[in-house]
Chain A
Amino acid sequence: MQNYFRSIKFKYTLCVLAVLLLGLFVAAVSSGGTSPFSSALNFVLSPLNRAAEHISETVSDFRAGFRSSSRYLEEIESLQAELDEYREQMVDYEKLQQKLASYEEFLGVKSEHSDFVFEPAAVIMRDGMDVYASFTINKGTQDGIDVNMPVIYGKNLIGVVREVSLTSAVVYTVFHPDVSVSAYETRTREDCYTEAQNSFSLEGTLKLMGLARTTPVVAGGIVCTSGIGGIYPRDLIIGTVTQVVNSESDISAYAVIKPAMDPRTAVDVFVITDFEDKAR
């Protein structure tokens, strides 16, 4: 083993390690948050990831179709071919319906906020170990995506872009401790802000902080973005209050909110690249 540590191979290994550490440092100080090495690898592998995503969708479609065809087969075997055709049409129809629902919500937002500029994106990668449900989308700087751009599904805020490379971007969801959104409760108009904590993120909820102990906010209240800070536009839905709890450490209270749209299930999202009151 000593021979290895004295060998030229070990010195090469150390050199590569030094380059990697330098890359890590570059990533940490760069505004995009990605190292040149990762960006290059991401660029090279992006077609492969998209292919895998397509295969994944096909497998899901096949499973959905297989269930329905087996049910029909038991009833009328002679109509197998016809049923297969109908089944394929149904799968396409359901996919279209989902897409339509997404675009209908998008249209609603667009008609209410004509100043919003959108970029549609698809979720292509996730780290299963990430309790905060962060994900990677298939749009990057070449599509006009930049850090701190809000990501939505319909009228619901999902998260914010935190790292961006040429062809992809990493989105931190509202469950991430680095994401805090200034908000207000729609009925009482009380100003507050969201805060994500591990124990809440595990349960798919987040905290609504800054409420007075005498707060009129009650369960069922809808919480929206207030637009303060200029990162998130006003009136995007964050979630619904499930309970209000008095703080044990001070005289304030906090509410537990459940996001209207679970970021873990997001497949197609929209990035708001520009809006009227955006901080420049």
Chain B
Amino acid sequence: MRTKERIYPVFRRVIYIALFVLTGVVQNTLLGMRGSILLPLIPLTVAVCVFEHEYAGFFFGLLGGALYDLASPAADGIYAIVFAVLGCAAGLVMHYLFRGTLLSAFLLTLIFALCTALTGFIFMVLAKDRSGAFAVFRTTFLPGAVCSSLLLPVFYYPIRLLDQKLR
């Protein structure tokens, strides 16, 4: 029993890391190469933070952001910082304020995605050229954030199951 308590959290987090790497590769290559605006790393990060809470959430956010940074031409490392802070904040909110339901997780994902989109917009577009910047936000970043949030159930239910089985 004690061995299970010690091994299960480690095993669970190793699975999460593998899931992050796999999702990062899919986002940067399979989706990115086809011009898809979906960012599955966002719902994955929130889904993990919902169950892992603030401290682990910070580090999983850091990993998710770093993976996104690999393909992003925005300031190097900016998404790692944003994802880490937002992951920690999501973990804190789910730990102390909200119950870990799909609806509350979805709201957090939407806020997380909008913050990420806004960061990308500021560093990639607004910092370079202001003319027509709003059109870029409206046609690329906003739909990307909303569509990415809709992917939450794909990650939420498997992670909840994993959390229940391996806690």
Contact = CB atoms under 8 A, between A and B. Distances in A.
B129 A34 contact: no
Interface residue range, chain A? 35 or more
Contact of A202 (B39, B81, B139, B141): B139
B44 to A, nearest CB: 16
B77 to A, nearest CB: 4
Given A123-B33, A126-B35, A129-B144, A34 B25 contact: no
A157 to B, nearest CB: 18
Nearest to B26: A52
Contacts, number: 159
Contacts of A178: 128
B73 A38 contact: no
B72 A130 contact: yes
B29 A56 contact: yes
Contact of B62 (A20, A35, A55, A197): A20
A49 B117 CA distance: 24
Interface string A1-37: 1001000010001001100110110011000011101
Contact of B132 (A128, A129, A199): A199
Contacts of A131: 124-125, 136, 140
A16 B28 contact: no
Given A28-B75, A35-B77, A198-B129, A126 B55 contact: no
Given A21-B81, A34-B76, A41-B66, A128 B55 contact: no
- Enumerate the 7 nearest inter-chain pairs by beta-carbon distance, A residue then B residue, closest first: A199-B132, A198-B132, A27-B76, A126-B32, A125-B71, A134-B73, A177-B128
Given A37-B66, A126-B33, A128-B36, 16 more contacts: A1-B96, A4-B92, A16-B59, A17-B81, A24-B75, A24-B77, A28-B76, A35-B77, A41-B69, A48-B25, A49-B29, A51-B25, A125-B70, A162-B73, A197-B131, A202-B135
7 contacts: A1-B95, A52-B26, A55-B30, A124-B29, A127-B28, A136-B71, A197-B131
Interface of A: 1, 4, 9, 13, 16-17, 20-21, 23-24, 27-28, 33-35, 37-38, 41-42, 45, 48-49, 51-53, 55-56, 59, 123-132, 134, 136, 162-163, 170, 172, 176-178, 196-202, 264
